[in-house]
Amino acid sequence: MKVLLIGSGGREHAIAWKLAQSPGVSELIIAPGNAGTAELGENVAVAVDDFDGMLELARLRDIDLAIVAPDQPIVDGLCNRFTDVGIKVFGPSAAAARIEGSKVWSDDLMAKYGVPTAESLAFTESRLAIEYGRSRTEGSLVVKADGLAAGKGVLIPETYDDLDAAIVGMLDHAAFGSSSARILLAERLTGPEVSVFAFVDGEFVSSEIATCDYKRVGDADVGLNTGGMGAYGPPEFWTEELAGRVREVILEPVAKALVSENSSFSGMLYAGLMITAEGPKVIEFNCRFGDPETQILMPMLKTDLLDICLAVAEGRLSEQAVEWSDIPHTFVVMVSEGYPGSFETGKIITGVDEASEHGLVIHAGTTRNESGELFTSGGRVLGVAGSGESIRAARDSAYAGVERISFEGARYRHDIAARAVKG
């Protein structure tokens, strides 16, 4: 079977790594891919926003299954384009992707179907939003841009002045372009955060898996939000009881709600949750695999990924096994100096082979020159996934790998999974 995987980050390298192990995959094309995916299949330089180019590529190469990994093309309807021309696709329609693409739509859906989430109100006028904000306790609200904002669209102001500034920045000064033309003011929740993933096909929800990711750039969660600095799983606070509750009150009701709203979901559903004193509540839904969580989800997936993706694409997931391992995993991301602000690229990378003796090296922003030397080409450069009998062993392997890799200005967090290590 010929498979086209769309995207170019660490998530896509991890998915390609898993697909390359499927006996059913005869040809794997990654568009546009990175230096890591190039070792597993054929990279083709079509940009993820070039929908005509992607369809042309799929037609020319006689693709049997397209897998769309990044959020933006899904929200913009790339999966619909494949479906429209009769090419099987793993990934939801634009209608179903509103669960990620519009926080206001998603919030309305949760309110209508009783899915637990933060109480929130939508605003388009800063005056009204400020008035509402001032009527609530100082520091008790978060400000969320309605649309996609590369993981940076949530602000958590401590004071009224900062809240006003966040509102004005988003609504009046388009801090996130058209994505912040509408905002939500949501109750600020507290508790451990967890990313829960399940394959969804209409009302059917596969077995789920939970991981934790790290968004801030610095140790101890200081500094700016990033695309993700690391992940680990299973979380130390995750129990069967909690998993059962999350399925019962969040995953299954939302899959049903989407079907009822004529927006049936097909693909990977990612629920970002906070485990509050009142139980699990939704912070956000995403309509795709998480990054960097997928860099451990793929090593933790025991079932053939092609079989699952095909079953989802063909609407028969309920007949397909989905089995996850509970072996502890840790993934640590290495980034360029300056990231998530401005950074330089083109730094030579060494030590990847040595690192591979300790864990799975996953590329994100990497490229090779003609003589095969590896260079940095992005903010998040690469990372190492370690596994072991305990989370401590998994973490030690990941860091042993990271310590073997060098490039000028390399940075990484030192505390990924540290809180999960006992004693």
For ligand GLY, the binding residues (CB under 6 A) are: 151, 213, 228, 286, 290-291, 293
Here the tokens at position 94 are 């634009």
Q: Judged by CB under 6 A, which of 162, 193, 337, 415 binds ligand AMP?
A: 193
CB of 220 to ligand AMP, least distance (A): 15
In degrees rounded to 5, what are phi and psi of residue 105?
-60, -45
Q: Is 216 in the site for ligand AMP (CB under 6 A)?
A: no
**145 belongs to the binding site for ligand AMP (CB under 6 A):** no
Find which of ligand AMP, ligand GLY, none residue 100 binds, CB within 5 to 8 Å per kind: none
Answer yes or no: are the C-beta atoms of 131 and 137 closer than 8 Å: no
Question: Cis peptide leading into 192, omega within 30 of 0?
Answer: no
Told to check if 275 binds ligand AMP by CB under 6 A, we report no
Q: What does the chain come to in residues?
A: 423
| Beta carbons of 354 and 406 less than 8 angstroms apart | no
416 close to 398: Cβ distance less than 8 angstroms: yes
Shortest approach of ligand GLY to residue 72 CB, angstroms? 12
Q: Are 289 and 271 in contact (CB under 8 A)?
A: no
Query: What tokens appear for 251 in the block?
Result: 């995953």
Q: Contact at 8 Å (CB) between 265 and 258?
A: yes
CB of 354 to ligand AMP, least distance (A): 34
Q: Which does 110 bind (CB under 5 to 8 A by kind): ligand AMP, ligand GLY, none?
A: none
| 228/267 with CB nearer ligand GLY | 228
Q: Print burial letters for 104-139: b (CB count within 10 Å at least 16), e (below 16).
A: bbbbebbeeeebbbbebbbbeebeebbeebeeeeee
Cα(101)–Cα(302) distance, integer angstroms: 30
Nearer to ligand GLY, 64 or 293 (CB): 293
Between 87 and 231, name the residue whose CB sits nearer to ligand GLY. Answer: 231
Cβ nearer to ligand GLY, comparing 107 with 291 = 291
* Closest distance of CB 254 from ligand AMP, Å: 15
Segment lying near ligand AMP (by CB under 6 A), choices 12-20, 73-81, 150-158, 165-173: 150-158
Residue closer to ligand AMP, measured from CB, 43 or 295? 295
Q: How many CB atoms lie within 10 A of CB 276?
A: 14
Instruction: Provide the sign of the torsion angle of the four alpha carbons 346, 348, 353, 354, taken in this order.
Output: negative
Among ligand AMP, ligand GLY, none, residue 107 binds (CB under 5-8 Å by kind) = none
Q: Which residue is nearest to ligand AMP (CB)?
A: 284
Residue number with CB closer to ligand AMP (282 or 322): 282
Q: How far is CA 224 from CA 189, 211, 292, 342, in A?
A: 20, 21, 17, 13
Beta-carbon-side half-sphere exposure of residue 166 (alpha carbons within 13 Å): 24
The reply to whether 252 sits near ligand AMP by the rule CB under 6 A is: no
Q: Which does 228 bind (CB under 5 to 8 A by kind): ligand GLY, ligand AMP, none?
A: ligand GLY
**Which residues contact ligand AMP (rule: CB under 6 A)?**
118, 142, 151, 153-154, 156, 186, 188-189, 193, 215, 272, 283-284
